[in-house]
Structure 1
Amino acid sequence: MAFRFYIILLIFSFGTCFSQSQKSNQGLDGIKTNPNVIQTQNDSLLIQKVEDDIIAADFDQKWLEELYSNTLYDTIYNSVSDLSFEEVEYPELSTELLKTRLADLSSKTPFNVEYNPGLESVIKSYLKNRRETLQKLINLSAFYFPMFERALDKNDLPLEIKYLAIVESALKPRAKSRVGATGLWQFMYSTGKMYGLDVSSYVDERSDPIKSTEAAAQYLSKLYEIFGDWDLALAAYNSGPGNVTKAIRRSGGYQNYWNIRHNLPRETAGYLPAFLATMYIFEYAEEHGFTKPRPEVALFETDTIRVKQMITLDQISEATGVEMEELQFLNPSYKLDIIPFVKGENYALRLPKTVMGDFVTNEDHIYDFAKAEFAKREKPMPQFFESDTKTTHRVRSGEFLGIIARKYGVRVSDIKKWNGLRSNNLKIGQRLTIYPRNSGAPSSSSIGKTAATKSVSGSSTTYTVRSGDSLWSISQKFPGVSVQNIKDWNGISGSNLKPGMKLKVSKS
């Protein structure tokens, strides 16, 4: 089923009028237009209608049906629990039960998972004090672990190494330590370069989940080749091989991690216990009351495409309807939310498969839009504005950065920079400094979405979601209603719908 949606994007204004014959063949500034997709009106360039190729979309649908009927998909999703997490008291983990479970775990992995009081203390501390954090990590792991396991298997490494990324970064691809280690696997600049991770003003591949995982697998493989022991390899990964060899010398030649632990740097001394505790809790998650939910985005439900010219994530968001926050999650290596085009480099965009066909079918027009908008903005980007135009916005219930950015015609990345925000999380009542567009006219990100911000007023109805419905198909049932209208009226941030869900829709 072809996924269709309507987007009206104001790209730029200009002072010189073209002749009627010129308008029939090209848009503004010589940009070629397709009358069915891009039209000029009132000296503006509009994306009138974007839709996927019907035949290609039909092929995609057949492939997805084959994928979802696969037993692997059933294994991943059909047996999972609900996403909710409830505070429940569980019986104290006995020492004897822990010893039994650790012995069972040790038989399945090359790591030395042996009981000791220190490890027991770490495990019980995590279970008591970090339940909510651990549940969030279990949720996130459903997206990241498949890509970790693929790289580890490719390099013949123990699959349990996937738990190392939790200890290193708490599965935050843009995590940065006080000494500059960055990404899921916390590579220092020099080590990342050594293993092929590009770092530039626009891109930091240490934050690229797939590329950094491959680099980590190669680095760990080399460390194991040196030390011949996985515990020591992990210690060397954390503190450097030199600190491990010093600890071996100072301990009198011992080569068991637990025998040299007291000679390792303080952080590394707690590193392996944290790794083993994490491994235990994830392997026995259900026994301790944690759930294994379906991820909001699964890796195999996304795809990548090589970009052909510079484009920003919020331009992509405007063209595809994918929320900015989701694009940032899927493309964390682009530091300024800008995907550059550099000769000789292969920079890729990751999108949900549900919109990949729309992007590919219309990419020339989307790039035309991006090119014109870049010309309008006058680089460098992102833009900053005069201080005398700033305003203060107080965050209200239900608001997120994407909504606030559209309201003022600015970009999410701008708001984060102006307010020193490291994440997209906001608190009700939080005050944000905003520099609205001061050109005297709304920006392209706000035009075409003005109608989307209105409240449900006048005559309204309740629509019950049926199997196979999408936000776009529902919007087509109500004249004058857009996808963004429905999302704003119902407080929906993503695009996932469940059969039986009730949606408010205005008829006016």
Structure 2
Amino acid sequence: MLKITSKFTLLITAFFLTYLYAPQSSANYAHTIALKIKSEPLRATEICSDQNDLLCEISSDFQPLYTGNHIADYQKEIRSYGSNPAEMEFILINSKPYLYYVFQKVKEYHLPAQLVFVPAAETNYQAHSISSAGAAGLWQFMPATAHEFNIHMRPGYDGRSDILQSTDAGLHHLMASYKRFGNWLLAMAAYNCGDGRVDEAIRYNLARHRPTDFWSLPLPHQTKVYVRNILAISAIMTRPSKFGIKLPDIPNRPYFSKIQIKQNITPSNAGFIAGINFNDMKKLNPAITDWQNTLNTDYTLLVPQSKKEEVLDRLSSIDAVAA
């Protein structure tokens, strides 16, 4: 009997060791990690103390956005990003020219650092994005909402795609919704589906004596996924290597600088004289829709920070820089 029991014990031990150390698919691995972190607080546990690393500083500045333990509610989104590291890396690489500026504005207004990932949920940080409904830019403004938040649109220039204007407007949009609802998850939800739709969901639950937090409201499925995506990206950012995600190197310093150009200089000529690759100019200045004609007003041109002095010298030599 003792020998049989010993053999049985060895077989059971071998089985569990085989299961424990068996290779996992990326999807199963992401699921395992999602389960592991579902009771852990959202804070930077893996990265880092490097003040020169922008992603490090952002993740170190995360704030609690809700009470209670709800990580289980967005495990599906965590698994989706975690099982496809290339998607997360794609978003972060896209964000490289803009992320420092967005984060500085978030800090200036004393907002939660997680809001830097709203453009990730909106457009994967692709500044030239235009939706099928006609929303444009990193922050996806429709013309009417752009007007409400003082974004300028004129021939040759669409301020909805202007990195400076749209970021300021997007954050003010979120702040206005936060002031209305008193909750950042509801503010993000309202950014996606509108304040009126969130109000309607709150009234629906109040009439039925139900909770009115984000997790309980009957919001559109797209809106729920939208907010959960922002939370999932933030959660993964605190533990990237556990999902096999290699964070790109994004220095914690300005990527671009702004120069005022006189109205009689076409954007195309300004870029050519500045000696900057046209694709780089378009990446930093997606609001300019007509590069060949003058814009009938002085305008701001964003140029790589590393080339600012050289660009100023070149443009000043033809009296192109506005006071």
Distance 1:137 1:96 in 2: 24
Structure-2 residue corresponding to 1:97: 36
Distance 1:175 1:112, change over 3 A: same
Structure-2 residue corresponding to 1:436: none
Distance 2:246 2:260 in 1: 36
Distance 1:278 1:195 in 2: 27
Following TM superposition, by how much is the alpha carbon of 1:104 offset from its aligned partner in structure 2, in angstroms?
A: 4.9
8 Å CA contact 1:102–1:115 kept in 2: the answer is no
Following TM superposition, by how much is the alpha carbon of 1:244 offset from its aligned partner in structure 2, in angstroms?
A: 0.6
Distance 1:354 1:168, change over 3 A: closer
Match of 2:109 among 148, 155, 161: 155
The structure with the larger Rg is 1
8 Å CA contact 2:159–2:165 kept in 1: the answer is yes
Match of 2:212 among 244, 255, 258: 255
Between 1:218-227 and 1:348-357, the stretch displaced more is: 348-357
8 Å CA contact 1:152–1:217 kept in 2: the answer is yes
What pairs up with 1:284-295 in 2 under 5 angstroms? 284-295=239-250
Distance 1:116 1:195, change over 3 A: same
Structure-2 residue corresponding to 1:282: 237
- Does residue 111 (structure 1) correspond to residue 68 (structure 2)? The answer is no
Distance 1:211 1:298, change over 3 A: farther
Matched letter for residue 290 of structure 1: I
8 Å CA contact 1:174–1:207 kept in 2: the answer is yes
Residues 176-205 of structure 1, C-alpha deviation per residue, up to 9 Å, x if partnerless? 112111111111111111111101121111
Distance 1:304 1:248, change over 3 A: same
Structure-1 residue corresponding to 2:296: 342
Structure-1 residue corresponding to 2:126: 172
Following TM superposition, by how much is the alpha carbon of 1:206 offset from its aligned partner in structure 2, in angstroms?
A: 1.1
Matched letter for residue 276 of structure 1: L
Structure-2 residue corresponding to 1:127: 82
TM-score relative to the length of structure 1 = 0.49
Structure-2 residue corresponding to 1:356: 308
8 Å CA contact 2:256–2:304 kept in 1: the answer is yes
Residues 326-378 of structure 1, C-alpha deviation per residue, up to 9 Å, x if partnerless? 111111110123574434xx51112224443344334365469xxxxxxxxxx
- Does residue 325 (structure 1) correspond to residue 284 (structure 2)? The answer is no
Following TM superposition, by how much is the alpha carbon of 1:166 offset from its aligned partner in structure 2, in angstroms?
A: 0.2
8 Å CA contact 1:206–1:333 kept in 2: the answer is yes
Matched letter for residue 357 of structure 1: E
Matched letter for residue 88 of structure 2: L
Give the match's secondary structure for 1:258. Answer: coil
Structure-1 residue corresponding to 2:57: none
Give the match's secondary structure for 1:350. Answer: strand
Distance 1:117 1:196 in 2: 39
8 Å CA contact 1:145–1:162 kept in 2: the answer is yes
Matched letter for residue 300 of structure 2: A
Structure-2 residue corresponding to 1:244: 198
Structure-1 residue corresponding to 2:146: 192
Structure-2 residue corresponding to 1:316: 270
8 Å CA contact 1:144–1:299 kept in 2: the answer is no
Give the match's secondary structure for 1:143. Answer: coil
Give the match's secondary structure for 1:171. Answer: coil
Between 1:346-355 and 1:131-140, the stretch displaced more is: 346-355
Following TM superposition, by how much is the alpha carbon of 1:95 offset from its aligned partner in structure 2, in angstroms?
A: 4.8
Which residues of structure 2 form unaligned runs of 5+?
Answer: 1-24, 45-60
Distance 1:218 1:248 in 2: 22
Distance 1:320 1:166, change over 3 A: same
Give the match's secondary structure for 2:215. Answer: helix
Matched letter for residue 38 of structure 2: K
Distance 1:110 1:354, change over 3 A: closer
Distance 1:108 1:349, change over 3 A: closer
Aligned residues: 275
Distance 1:96 1:204 in 2: 44
Distance 1:161 1:353 in 2: 24
Distance 1:309 1:136, change over 3 A: same
Matched letter for residue 137 of structure 2: G
Residues 31-54 of structure 1, C-alpha deviation per residue, up to 9 Å, x if partnerless? xxxxxxxxxxxxxxxxxxxxxxxx
Residues 455-474 of structure 1, C-alpha deviation per residue, up to 9 Å, x if partnerless? xxxxxxxxxxxxxxxxxxxx
Distance 1:164 1:354, change over 3 A: closer
Distance 2:281 2:267 in 1: 7
Give the match's secondary structure for 1:351. Answer: strand
Distance 1:218 1:354, change over 3 A: closer
Give the match's secondary structure for 2:38. Answer: helix
Residues 387-414 of structure 1, C-alpha deviation per residue, up to 9 Å, x if partnerless? xxxxxxxxxxxxxxxxxxxxxxxxxxxx
Distance 2:224 2:35 in 1: 25
Distance 1:112 1:338 in 2: 49
- Does residue 302 (structure 1) correspond to residue 256 (structure 2)? The answer is yes
Distance 1:366 1:101, change over 3 A: farther
What pairs up with 1:73-88 in 2 under 5 angstroms? none
Q: Identity of aligned pairs, percent? A: 24
8 Å CA contact 1:307–1:341 kept in 2: the answer is no
Distance 1:321 1:95, change over 3 A: closer
TM-score relative to the length of structure 2 = 0.75
Aligned-pair RMSD on alpha carbons?
Answer: 2.9
Matched letter for residue 222 of structure 2: E
